[in-house]
Structure 1
Amino acid sequence: MGKTCTDLFAGIDCTVIGNADEEVGGIAYRSDRVQPGDAFFCIVGLTADGHSFAQDAIDRGAKVLVVERKVYLADATDVTEVVVADTRKAMAAASANFYDHPSKDFSLVGITGTNGKTTTTYLVEHIAHVAGKRTGVIGTVGVRIGGAAEKTAHTTPESPDLQQLLARMRDERCDVVAMEVSSHALDLERTWGTTFAVTAFSNLTQDHLDYHHTFEAYFEAKARLFSKDYPAKRVICIDDKWGKELLRRCSTNEDSIVTTGFDTSAQIHPVDVRYAPTHTTVELDVRGSRYRFDYPLVGRFNVENVMCAFGIGLQLGFSPSVIVEALEEAPQIPGRLERVSVSCDGGVSVFVDYAHTPDALEKALASIMALTRGRTICVFGCGGDRDASKRSIMGKAALAADFAVVTSDNPRHEDPLAIIDDIVGGMGAGQGRFAVEPDRRAAIALALAHAKPDDSVLIAGKGHEDYQLVGDEVLSFDDRVVAAEELNRAFGGLLDDADAAVTLADPYGQASGEN
């Protein structure tokens, strides 16, 4: 499949210097991945300028350079240059052109917000599946196309990768695709040129301020998905001021909107909620009609996710009865309040959750405390090379537990002990109620050593991840597997490897066993 420059840049404001009929065989944004015949987009990044790699791209066979300023190279005489104002935005639009705008061929749901995106995408996928649709999912946990899973590098892939993925989903005849849309993706134009059927907002709490710097800038990045740049039906949780502001803007634009939330003015809101250790019973008011049902997820924040998914289902045209039927058998989401089950746990309940923001940690702890007869113990840390301002706030949030163990998360290129010091700086009021153990396995073992029957342990921060990032190393580490091993070590006596296996959640009912 190829496109001429004229076709590739249709609808894009640009100046073509050279052969407008030059055929492009692919799109590249890294010079080391250029294939002969590609168009190379010189992206001006946060740490490097792609214009500096133009010669390398030509040496590898690039026939078209897309630039923000003309590049003068001795070897570029037979290379077509396309000058644009913004290479990122042009790359996204050209990628959509290259793959013939695949998002127009199915219903694409874009979900944004700080917390709840992953769970909501999987709930939407399940609703669509029960409705008889072929589905796809794109997000933090990875990609699924019609039930086949694969990993991705970003929550929302770079625009050429995203459009290629959407094209695969089109070719696999997907009807509904649910995608997490990150603030980075919106700010970096990864989704530009993509057509959404529905966009949804969950909430906004502190995260990524190392990148966005202010809450306002963080919000405005998310809000782009609800602007005229991305026309669609909307689902908006109005429980915080940011959701209410989105509602105001979308109402001004006369968008089709379904509001959700505990706020009784929301079109979908709970009338009654009863929490249990294995499920939740909820009665929802949905535009004046009442629906009472059980679903196998726990915690208040999952009520928010269920309401959001319900609203998306309505905007996709599914009947309330089909939505309720699907939610009653909702899948366990990988690493989202996922319970670790072993044959002998000493009466201690262990949950693994991806909570890596102060708000998410508070909500996860509150949910577990509401289900726990005894004490709640928390194991957590903070990632390196990320928003350092939230570390002390995370430390303070963890004090909601009866006891906390501060440990290493994904330190990346930072000193783990320095990260821990930042966290402990917010825990001054909790002297005697927390311990520090930098080794994550040892920290999990320490938490279990403190636990007694009827206690619960929350291992927070990494969720579904099966690795730990230390410097340039990617170490094998899965909180769920390690917790199962330590549970067996603490309460199960001498067991063989087969007895120590843990069943990991698969949202599609296909369990995988790991030691």
Structure 2
Amino acid sequence: MGKTCAELFAGIDCTIIGNADDEVGGIAYRSDRVQPGDAFFCIVGFTADGHSFAQDAIDRGAKVLVVERKVYLADATDVTEVVVKDTRKAMAVAAANFYDHPSAGIALVGVTGTNGKTTTTYLVEHIARVAGKRTGVVGTVGICIGDVREKSEHTTPESPDLQRLFARMRDAHCDTVAMEVSSHALDLERTWGTRFAVTAFSNLTQDHLDYHHTFEAYFEAKARLFSKDYPAKRVICIDDKWGKELLRRCSVAEDSVVTTGFDPSAQIHPADVAYAPTHTSLALDVRGSRYAFDYPLVGRFNVENVMCAFGIGLQLGIPPEVIVEALEEAPQIPGRLERVSAVCDGGVSVFVDYAHTPDALEKALSSIMALTPGRTICVFGCGGDRDASKRPIMGKAALAADRAIVTSDNPRTEDPRAIIEDVVSGMGAGAGRFEVEPDRRRAIARAVALACPGDSVLIAGKGHEDYQLVGDRVLSFDDRVVAAEELERAFGSDAAGVRAGFDGLAGDGEKPAEEGR
């Protein structure tokens, strides 16, 4: 499949220097991935300028260079240059053109917000399946095309990868696709040129301020998905001021909006909720009609996700009775308040959750504490090379637990102990109620050792991830697997000896454990 330059750049304000009838065989934005016949887009990034790699792209066989300024290179006489104002936007539109606008043939749902995106997209997929649709999912946990599951590198892929993915979904006859849309993706034009049937907003809490710098800039990035740039039906949670502002804007634009929230003025809001360790009983007021049902997810924040998914289902034209039927059999979302299964657990409940923002950690702890007859122990850390300003706030949030263990998350290129020091700086009010263990496995083992029957352990921050990023290494590490192993060690046939050994770990204060390091 190929497109001429004229076809590829249709609808893009550009100047073609060369042959507009040249056929392009593919789209590349990294010179080391250029294939002969590709168009190479010179993306101006934060640390590198793609124009500097133009010669490398030509040497690898690129036939077309897409640039924001004229480049003068050796041996480029047969190369067509296309000059555009913004190579990122141009690449997104060109990618949609190249794959014949695949999102137009799919009922595409875009979900944005700080927390809840993954759970909501999985719930929407499940609802659509029960309604008889062939479905797809794009997001943090991975990619689903029908029954095929794949891993993903980004929450929202780069535009050529995203449009190629949509084309695969279209060709696999997917009817409905639910996608997480990150603020980065919106700001970096990854979704530009994509057509949405429904866009939904969950909430806005502190995250990514290392990138956006201010809450206002963070919000405006999210808000783009609800602007005239992305016409669609809307679902908006109005429990925070950001959702209320989105509602105001969409109302002015006369968009079709379904509002959700605990706020009783929301079109979908709870009339009654009862929380249990294994499920939630919910009576929803949906535009004046009441629907009562149980679903196998726990916690207040999952009520928010269920309401959002309900609203999306309505906007997709799915009858409320079908939505209720689907939610009653809702799937466990990987790494989202996922209970660890072990042959021997000693009466201790261990949950793994992706919570990596202060708000998400607070909500996860609140949900677990409401279901726990004993104490709640929290194991958590913060990622490196990410928003450092939230670290002390995360530490403070963790003090809601009866006991907290600060450990390493994905330190990336930062010193894990320096990250931990940032976290601990916010925990001054909890002296004697937390400790530090930089080794994540030992931290999980310590939490299990501290737990008694009836207690719960929350392991937060990594959720579904089966790796740990340390420097330039990707280490195999899955909180769910490690926790199951440690439960078995602590409460299996040799439990007494193992637990005696664990009692020596880390101590009762805040001094980092040094054994074996």
Q: Distance in 2 between matches of 1:320 and 1:212?
A: 38
Alignment match, 2:445? 445
Q: Secondary structure at the residue paired with 2:126? A: helix
**How much does 1:294 deviate?**
0.1
Higher mean C-alpha deviation, range 48-57 or range 68-77? 68-77
CA–CA distance in 1 between the matches of 2:92 and 2:45?
A: 15
Aligned equivalents of 2:291 and 2:19: distance in 1? 62
The structural deviation recorded for 1:35 is 0.3
Q: Which moved more, 1:473-482 or 1:339-348?
A: 339-348
2:179 alignment partner, SS class: strand
Correspondence 1:378 to 2:384: no
Q: Secondary structure at the match of 2:392?
A: helix
Quick check: 1:400 aligned with 2:400? Answer: yes
C-alpha distance in structure 2 between counterparts of 1:147 and 1:257, whole Å: 31
Once the two structures are overlaid, the 10-residue window that deviates more, 67-76 or 117-126, is 67-76
For 1:428 and 1:493, how far apart are their aligned partners in 2? Answer: 40
Three-state SS of the structure 2 residue aligned to 1:44 is coil
**SS, match of residue 137 in structure 1:** strand
1:45 offset after TM fit, Å?
0.4
**CA deviation string 1:373-401 (max 9, x = no partner):** 00000000000000000000000000000
Please report how far the alpha carbon of residue 77 of structure 1 lies from its aligned counterpart in structure 2 after TM superposition. 1.2
Aligned to 2:118: 118
Deviations 1:208-246 (A, max 9, x none): 000000000000000000000000000000000000000
- The residue type paired with residue 285 of structure 1 is D
Q: Determine the structure 2 residue equivalent to 1:65.
A: 65
What is aligned with 2:324?
A: 324
Secondary structure at the counterpart of residue 458 of structure 2: strand
Which residue is equivalent to 2:501?
none
Secondary structure of 1:366's match? helix
Structure 2 unaligned blocks of 5 or more: 496-517
Task: Quote the offset at 1:327 in angstroms.
Answer: 0.1
Is the partner of 1:278 in helix, strand or coil? Answer: coil
1:170-185 map, 5 Å: 170-185=170-185
Q: Secondary structure at the match of 1:82?
A: strand
Q: Tell me, in whole angstroms, the C-alpha distance in 2 between the residues paired with 1:423 and 1:214.
A: 20
SS in 1 for 2:56: helix
Secondary structure at 1:306's aligned position in 2?
helix
Question: Are residue 186 (structure 1) and residue 186 (structure 2) matched?
Answer: yes
Determine if the alignment matches structure 1 residue 99 to structure 2 residue 99. Answer: yes
Is 1:301 aligned to residue 304 of structure 2?
A: no
Amino acid at match of 1:77: T
The match for 1:344 is 344
Residue 128 of structure 1 aligns with which residue?
Answer: 128
**How many Å separate the matches in 2 of 1:161 and 1:263?**
39
Task: Please list, as runs of the form range in 1=range in 2, the aligned pairs for 1:216-365 lying within 5 A after superposition.
Answer: 216-365=216-365
Size of the aligned set, in residue pairs, is 495
**1:493 CA drift (Å):** 2.2
**Separation of aligned partners in 1, 2:45 and 2:153:** 17
Aligned partner of 2:508 in structure 1 is none
1:460 maps to which residue? 460
Q: How does 1:196-207 map onto structure 2 within 5 Å?
A: 196-207=196-207
Q: Residues of 1 paired with 2:364 and 2:41: CA distance?
A: 42
Alpha-carbon offset, residue 430 of structure 1? 0.3
Give yes or no for the alignment of 1:32 onto 2:32.
yes
The one-letter code sitting in structure 1 at the alignment partner of 2:219 is: F
Post-superposition CA distance 1:263-302 (Å, at most 9, x none):
0000000010000000000000000000000000000000
| Amino acid of the structure 1 residue aligned with 2:110 | G
Q: Secondary structure at the match of 2:379?
A: strand
The DSSP-based 3-state class of the residue aligned with 2:170 is helix
Ranges of 4+ aligned residues in structure 1 off by more than 4 Å: none
Could you tell me how far apart the structure 1 residues matched to 2:291 and 2:378 are?
A: 35
Query: What is the SS of the residue equivalent to 1:122?
Result: helix
| CA deviation vs aligned residue, 1:65-87 (integer Å, no higher than 9, x gap) | 00000001121111000000000
Q: Give the 3-state SS of the residue equivalent to 2:454 in structure 1.
A: coil
Residue 344 of structure 1 and its aligned partner are, at CA, apart by 1.3
1-side partners of 2:38 and 2:345: how far apart?
56
Gap regions ≥5 residues in structure 1: 496-515
Residue 474 of structure 2 corresponds to residue 470 of structure 1: no
Give the % identical residues.
87
3-state SS in 2 of match to 1:55:
helix
Q: Residues 140-151 of structure 1 correspond to what in structure 2 (within 5 A)?
A: 140-151=140-151
Q: How many angstroms apart in 2 are the aligned matches of 1:487 and 1:59?
A: 55
How far off its partner does 1:494 sit? 4.3
Q: Equivalents in 1 of 2:478, 2:421: separation in Å?
A: 24
1:85 aligns with 2:116: no
**1:258 partner letter:** V
Q: Distance in 1 between matches of 2:362 and 2:74?
A: 59
- In the alignment, residue 324 of structure 2 is paired with which amino acid? V
Counterpart of 1:429 in structure 2 is 429
Secondary structure at 2:190 match in 1 = coil
User: What's the CA shift string for 1:109-149, capped at 9, x where partnerless?
Assistant: 00000000000000000000000000000000010000110
Q: Quick one: distance in 2 between partners of 1:39 and 1:436?
A: 51
1:298-324 C-alpha deviation (Å, 9 max, x unpaired): 000000000000000000000000000
The TM-score with structure 1 as length reference comes to 0.96
Secondary structure of the corresponding residue to residue 468 of structure 1: strand
SS of residue matched to 2:35 = coil
d(CA) in 1 for partners of 2:398, 2:255: 40
Matching residue's letter, 2:7: D
Secondary structure at the counterpart of residue 273 of structure 2: strand
Could you tell me how far apart the structure 1 residues matched to 2:74 and 2:452 are?
73
Q: Tell me whether 1:160 sits opposite 2:154 in the alignment.
A: no
Q: Distance in 2 between matches of 1:302 and 1:219?
A: 22
Paired residue for 2:486? 486
In 1, Cα distance between equivalents of 2:29 and 2:441: 39
The DSSP-based 3-state class of the residue aligned with 2:15 is: strand
- Structure 1 letter corresponding to 2:147: G
In structure 2, the residue matched to 1:412 is 412
**Distance (Å, rounded) in 2 between the aligned partners of 1:179 and 1:336:** 17
3-state secondary structure, aligned to 2:259: strand
Separation (CA, whole Å) in 2 of partners of 1:8 and 1:344: 59
Q: Which amino acid aligns with 1:346?
A: G
Amino acid in structure 2 at the alignment position of 1:93 = V
Task: Give the partner amino acid of 1:377.
Answer: I
Structure 1 residue 440, shift from structure 2 partner: 0.2
CA distance in 1, matches of 2:335, 2:329: 18
Letter in 1 for 2:239: D
- Hey, what's the Cα distance between the residues in 2 that align with 1:336 and 1:106? 27
Q: Give distance in 2, aligned partners of 1:402 and 1:175.
A: 47
Q: Secondary structure at the match of 1:355?
A: coil
The amino acid of 1:62's aligned partner reads A
Question: Whole-Å Cα distance in 2 between the matches of residues 445 and 66 of structure 1?
Answer: 53
> In the alignment, does 2:217 pair up with 1:208?
no
